[in-house]
Amino acid sequence: MKQRPVRPAAPQQPPPRRRILAAARELFYRDGIRAVGVDAIAASAGTNKMTLYRHFASKDALVAAYLEELAAEGDALWDEAAAQHPGDAEAQLRVLLKRVSQFADESSGRGCALANAAIELAEKDHPARRIIERHKVHSRERLTALCREAGYLHPERLADELFLLVEGARVSLQSVGRKGPGSRLFALAAELLDTSPRRKP
């Protein structure tokens, strides 16, 4: 019963694949991967299961695409920080930590989607685990590199400490809530940056 416009409506819907990934992202993150069925994702994307399976070979493949997307966005954060403060590693560190702690404050309290997925998908050979592990290892390496570049004397140690603080803040959101120790993340991390020994320039 719709009148056909000369040109398909300006606010044309994004293609189904994108809608499905967006819906999967929201539902997987909010309710958990195992708790969300493909039917719910398709419906939430305004399409149906058949179309979903035309774009993703299986639910696991959709999960993998979901995690890859998140990992890529996480990597992009580092690049943004580098573009924002080129050559200033410490400023990059601080802006990254700020982003993470803001996220912890504003988010729904569900923590890191990658870490959550690793917990939900316990099978050691699950394809998702490769993606998660690769991203986390990569993040740790970038963090270490930034700490070294910023002139700290023990970059590995400082990076690991920051890494644990960030991971702890995100996971503790779900058990101690937003008013818990996660709310102190930025203050704690910043104080670490201030007091850690560094090379004289």
Residues 23-42 that bind DNA (CB under 7 A): 36-40
In the complex with DNA, which residue's Cβ is closer, 118 or 165? 118
Decide: is 72 part of the binding site for its own copies (CB under 8 A). no
Output the CA torsion sign for 34, 38, 41, 44.
Answer: negative
Decide: is 63 part of the binding site for its own copies (CB under 8 A). no
Site size with its own copies, rule: CB under 8 A:
46
Exposure b/e, 39-75, CB count within 10 A at least 16 = b: eebbebbebeeebbeebbeebeebbbbbbeebbeebe
DSSP 8-state secondary structure symbol assigned to residue 107 = S
Q: DSSP labels for 8-62?
A: --TTPPPPHHHHHHHHHHHHHHHH-TTT--HHHHHHHTTS-HHHHHHH-SSHHHH
Residues 84-143 that bind its own copies (CB under 8 A): 110-111, 114-116, 118-120, 122-123, 132-133, 135-137, 140
Decide: is 134 part of the binding site for DNA (CB under 7 A). no
Shortest reach from residue 70's CB to DNA, in Å: 19
Cβ contacts of residue 74 below 8 Å, gap of 6+? 114, 135, 139
Decide: is 184 part of the binding site for its own copies (CB under 8 A). yes
| Residues of this chain that bind DNA (CB under 7 A) | 4, 8, 15-17, 36-40, 46-51, 53-55, 58-60
Binding residues for its own copies, rule: CB under 8 A, are 30-32, 34-35, 110-111, 114-116, 118-120, 122-123, 132-133, 135-137, 140, 157, 159-161, 163-172, 174-177, 180-182, 184-185, 187-188
